[in-house]
Structures are given as C-alpha cells and as structure tokens.
Amino acid sequence: MAPTARTPQEPGDGADRVLQLEQEVAQLKEAVTSHAVVDQAIGMMVALGRIPPDEGWAVLKEISQHTNVKLRNVAELVLLWGRTGEMPEEIEAELEAALDRYGPPQIPGAPEE
C-alpha cells in the first residue's frame, strides 16, 4: 500500500484549528456551569415544593416560558433569591403559581387550614 500524499497546510491552518478548539472548550465550560446552576435551582424547587426533581425541572421550565426569561437566568435568579431573599416580582409570582400546581396540597406535618 502506497503512503497517502499529504497536501501542504496553509500557514494559518494550525492557528485556526487552535482558535476553533479554544472556542469549543469555552462553550463546554459554559455548558457545564449552566448545567450546575440549573441543577442547584432544581434542588431548591425539590426542597421548597416537596416535589421530585423532574417536576422541579418542569417548574423552572414553566417559569422560563411564562416570563420569556432564559431557563439558566431563571435558575440564577432562584439561587440569588435563596441567598438574598430578593427576586423580581414577575418571577416570584410565576414560581409560587408553578409550585402550587406541582406541589402537594399541604406540607406534611403542617396544621390544616
């Protein structure tokens, strides 16, 4: 079998490939960070609403859709709210409504209203 002939690379080819790989790495880092933020916010939904994780995801998704705010941004606002107690009114109203839809009718052990 004869060796395959290689075509000479243009001088910028290596630099272009490095730039492309650096961009891919940056995108992957952003995706990992975004995933972690969303996972943490789902955890807050699970604790607050006493709902399973898949419903916590659904709550965040509904808030995002109803407010036209990206899901990652909703998740960031939920985490910020957990630290500061502050949240935009529109997001808070949607959060309460979504948790009412998904959560149990009553928190176990709480007195009946």
Query: What pLDDT does residue 106 have?
Result: 55
Residue 43 contacts residue 83 (beta carbons within 8 Å)? no
Element (H, E) at 60: helix 53-67
Residue 49 contacts residue 59 (beta carbons within 8 Å)? yes
Query: What pLDDT does residue 87 have?
Result: 94
Judged by DSSP in three states, 107 sits in: coil
Per the confidence metrics, is the pTM higher than 0.75? no
Residue type, 82: G
Average pLDDT estimate for 47-66: 94
Residue 98 contacts residue 92 (beta carbons within 8 Å)? no
Neighbours of 52 (CB within 10 A): 13
Distance CA 66, CA 107 (A): 26
What confidence category does residue 113 fall into, taking pLDDT thresholds of 50, 70 and 90? low
